[in-house]
């Protein structure tokens, strides 16, 4: 018989997408760190299996919520939990979807469902957590992005766009709530061994794939180090700083004037 520990000193963590892959590993690792858990996913049977395993290994309290984050009712239900769950101190927005394929063939309904999970649900749950955490001046929000946020990959345009949104939404949220005691981390993995590609052959060579366990352990190590943006496989840590420097330089150039660039002036005047 399992004997549960008392109230967690770390508080409670919500993990979405917790029935498999990265989400299931986050659930395991956070329980090992002393968090009680609320696990969210669509597949109740797999969610129950993950929860039972974690309870048996850690003795932590683990509650489960079967919710589809592509569905308004599912998002609203989890929002209410974010607002009301006792001792909530962390949320990991891991749930994600992919709708890949050429623009002429990809199912628009699948793209819409993907955007509801990757963008809408993540935003609403992050904002709900931010409101709660700023009021108590403590808490952590972890959002899962992807290195494709920096790409414009044919056949994955909407997916790349959704992850670019996650990156810059999270960065803006960091700037807003960081001074209120709230930590926001965005994790930017490359290819991960998971169910994401299904039966499709992955578009990356095998040596680029990282295990979900290695990814989560690296991301949590970065969180412990205070890293707001983490690329787990990036060997040259300064590469991101150089990228950000170039982006900042471009923004400064874009804000110099409201007049058309000189290179367009002559042709625009001639044709109009």
pLDDT of residue 4: 43
Does pTM top 0.85 for this prediction? yes
d(CA 270, CA 272): 6
Compute the distance between CA of residue 124 and CA of residue 169 in angstroms, rounded to an integer.
11
pLDDT at 207: 73
Cα separation, 119 vs 96, whole angstroms = 9
Indicate the burial class of 140 (C-beta count within 10 angstroms; 0-12, 13-18, 19 or more): middle
Mean pLDDT score, 60-73: 98
3: Cα separation from own chain's centroid = 33
8 A C-beta contact, residue 38 and residue 66: no
DSSP H helices, the chain, are 21-32, 44-58, 72-84, 108-115, 122-136, 157-177, 212-224, 238-254, 262-271
Rg (C-alpha) for the chain, rounded Å, is 21
Residue range 161-180: mean pLDDT, rounded = 98
Write the pLDDT tens digit of every residue in 25-34.
999 999 999 9
Domain range summary for the chain, segments of one domain joined by +: 12-236
Give the confidence band of 201 by pLDDT, cuts at 50, 70, 90.
Answer: low
Least confident range of 39-48, 67-76, 100-109, 189-198: 189-198
| Domain spanning 12-236: CATH 3.40.50.720 | yes
**Whether the predicted pLDDT of 70 surpasses 90:** yes
**Dist. CA 88–CA 10, nearest whole Å:** 9
């Amino acid at each position: 018989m399992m004997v549960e520990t008392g109230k967690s000193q770390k508080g409670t963590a919500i993990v979405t997408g917790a029935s498999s892959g990265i989400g299931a590993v986050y659930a395991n690792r956070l329980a090992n760190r002393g968090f009680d858990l609320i696990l969210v996913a669509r597949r109740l049977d797999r969610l129950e299996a993950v929860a039972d395993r974690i309870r048996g290994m850690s003795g932590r309290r683990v509650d489960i919520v079967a919710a589809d984050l592509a569905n308004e009712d599912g998002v609203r239900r989890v929002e209410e939990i974010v607002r009301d769950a006792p001792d909530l101190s962390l949320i990991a927005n891991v749930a994600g979807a992919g709708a890949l394929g050429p623009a002429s063939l990809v199912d628009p309904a699948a793209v819409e469902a993907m955007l509801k999970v990757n963008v809408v649900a993540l935003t609403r749950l992050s904002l709900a957590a931010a409101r709660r955490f700023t009021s108590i001046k403590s808490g952590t929000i972890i959002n899962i992005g992807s290195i494709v946020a920096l790409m414009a990959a044919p056949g994955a345009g909407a997916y790349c766009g959704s992850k670019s949104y996650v990156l810059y939404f999270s960065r803006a949220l960091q700037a807003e709530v960081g001074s209120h005691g709230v930590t926001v981390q965005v994790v930017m993995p490359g290819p991960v061994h998971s169910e994401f590609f299904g039966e499709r052959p992955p578009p990356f060579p095998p040596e680029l794939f990282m295990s979900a366990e290695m990814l989560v352990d690296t991301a949590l190590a970065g969180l412990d180090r205070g890293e707001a943006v983490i690329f787990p496989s990036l060997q040259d840590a300064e590469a991101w700083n150089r990228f950000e420097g170039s982006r900042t330089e471009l923004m400064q150039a874009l804000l110099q004037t409201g007049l058309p660039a000189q290179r367009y002036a002559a042709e625009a005047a001639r044709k109009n």
